Structure 1
Amino acid sequence: MTNSVFLLVHPMHSCYEMKKQFQRTYMTAKFKKFQRELLGKISCDLSSCKKGVDISKDEVAEDVMFEESRRCVTFNVCFHKDTSEVDCNCRLFEYRGILCRHQIVVFIHKKLNQIPDKYILRMWSKNVKISHTEVRISYDNGAMKSKACCFAKMCNAFYEVTELAEDSEDRYEKVMERMYELNISFKEGSCRSNEDISKVHQKNPTSCANGFGIPKESINILDPSKRRPPYKRKQSKVEKVIKKRKESKKKTHTTSNKENMHKQIDESVEKVVV
């Protein structure tokens, strides 16, 4: 579903920028859950606010339906000024990954139009890249994709580094520093483009397969649709006894039904003759 079609199907009834932010990013099902919380803020009210140097503690009162009556429940919300993060004791975001209505009330009260990136989870994004799409599939040598091959090679190399660094604090800190530096440099656009990577693989097309330690003879894999023929699992003695009892019960039940039918027929015939 494109963004234009999505906006037509789910029109924006509020002027909050945070709703537009989630609508552009989240999938339909998760956006509906956020929209439910946004509408639920109508039953919430900011009752008190205690401002500190770095943290302000707010109390949000919500009218909750309990059986046939309404009750006022108070939730404690902490707002961190440095990071613009909001913590609520209802723990909806921690358990479900969706901003709760109490957090939304505090965000609106603090006049924060844009929600921090922490609360926009990558797993609910419409443009998320699923990891299993990067798995190398090689039914034959020509089916191997350079992108998936590079992904798998990097994973294998990183696994080796983590095994060497997991027992040492110094190595762990060095790995994390390098990862942080690489992350920043790649985000700034200093990494090579996909075209450069594809050129490298065109020059040496067998480098990916050999990088995994797979011999050339085993690159060609049989078609997975050609499975082995079906077979019967070996049954234990207990299973065989239970199966025989069930079969005997079925036979006795069918024979008894037949006898009853014959008796009914005979009785009906006798009545007609009389």
Structure 2
Amino acid sequence: MHIFFNKFITCNSSLIQFVKQYNNCLESKKQKERESDAADFLTIIPCAIKSLIETQFQHVSTHAKFREVQVQIKRKVNCITRSTESTLDFTVYEILEQVSNSKFNKLVVTYDAISCKIKCQYLLFESKGILCHHCLSALSFERSKNVKRMHTHIKSSHDEPLLESRSRRFDDLMF
């Protein structure tokens, strides 16, 4: 755009010519964006690691944003996550990120399970609109924690009240 304005500042063109050229330039830019959006709609970038989180982003992000998310997903591998404080709805995670063989960065991520909001000191979501690898690491930890909790609700043949009547009769006869 800077080149566009310089051309008209140095040239002796009328205001009408300037406005006409400026509108043409804006229309051309909009057309390129529409074409790019159409291309994004028709193609799918493959997932790098096939995680549930990555798959969700694959379906709702533009190609450019998805590529940024994929970088963060790959960087998540270097993170060690542990829960440091937890209440019924609020969890604080300490994320140790290995940046070299002997150097670690320590960051704090907070997760509110009621509002489903997550916040990291890194502030990538606030600045660029994508979750950083620290938040993704905490969300993965949160998901695995919930999977373990959900596991206790899975019915088992060892649960006495849940045994079928035939199984109970067999147990009564045998024991």
Question: When the two structures are superposed, what TM-score results if normalisation uses the length of structure 1?
Answer: 0.36
Unmatched runs of 5 consecutive residues or more in structure 1: 113-274
1:64 maps onto 2:96 in alignment: no
C-alpha distance 23-83 of structure 1, shift in aligned 2 (>3 A): same
1:75 maps onto 2:107 in alignment: yes
Distance in 2 between residues matched to 1:20 and 1:62, nearest whole Å: 24
SS of 1:111 mapped into structure 2 = helix
SS of 1:38 mapped into structure 2 = helix
Give the CA RMSD over aligned residues: 1.9
1:6 maps onto 2:47 in alignment: no
Question: Partner of 2:64 in structure 1?
Answer: 29
> Partner letter of residue 81 of structure 2?
L
Larger radius of gyration: 1
* Kept after mapping to 1: 8 A contact 2:40/2:62: no
For 1:90-124, what per-residue CA distance to the aligned partner results, in whole angstroms no more than 9, with x for missing partners? 11111111100010011111118xxxxxxxxxxxx
1:101 maps onto 2:138 in alignment: no
SS of 1:15 mapped into structure 2 = coil
Question: Partner of 2:122 in structure 1?
Answer: 90
Unmatched runs of 5 consecutive residues or more in structure 2: 1-38, 145-175
Distance in 2 between residues matched to 1:11 and 1:84, nearest whole Å: 27
SS of 1:110 mapped into structure 2 = helix
Distance in 1 between residues matched to 2:40 and 2:92, nearest whole Å: 41
SS of 1:49 mapped into structure 2 = strand
Deviation at 1:11, TM superposition (A): 1.8
Matches within 5 A, 1:142-157: none
C-alpha distance 71-27 of structure 1, shift in aligned 2 (>3 A): same
Distance in 1 between residues matched to 2:76 and 2:107, nearest whole Å: 13
Distance in 2 between residues matched to 1:61 and 1:2, nearest whole Å: 35
Matches within 5 A, 1:159-170: none
Question: Partner of 1:224 in structure 2?
Answer: none
Deviation at 1:63, TM superposition (A): 1.2
Distance in 1 between residues matched to 2:114 and 2:82, nearest whole Å: 23
> Partner letter of residue 15 of structure 1?
K
Question: When the two structures are superposed, what TM-score results if normalisation uses the length of structure 2?
Answer: 0.55
